Amino acid sequence: MLCFEEVVFVGRIMNVNEVAKYLNMVPDTIYRKARAGEIPAVKMGKCWRFPKDTLDKWLNDRALELNGNGKQQGQLVNESF
């Protein structure tokens, strides 16, 4: 019998090329950031995967950190891919 304490729903999953296009970066940069733990990612076998909801939250959090100097802060990412 399996017991799950918490079930997490993951929405859209993006691959490296989709994330690179979404963030306007080259795929090599996405690979480098994923390996360094600088961007939220999960490695499944040889493939990196990026939950879009987690990526959007990470982007928003980073934007708020960078705008901590008194500029207007707010949620920046709220569009579907």
The model's confidence at residue 11, banded by pLDDT at 50, 70 and 90, is confident
Q: Measuring CA to CA, which residue among 53, 51, 29, 52 is closest to residue 42?
A: 51
- 57-77 pLDDT, tens digit per residue, is 999 998 888 776 545 445 455
Q: Measuring CA to CA, which residue among 58, 52, 47, 61 is closest to residue 14?
A: 52
- The larger pLDDT score, comparing residue 39 to residue 78, is at 39
Judge contact between 53 and 12, C-beta under 8 A. Answer: yes
- 16-57 pLDDT, tens digit per residue, is 999 999 999 999 999 999 999 999 999 999 999 999 999 999
- Report the pLDDT value the prediction gives residue 70, as an integer from 0 to 100: 47
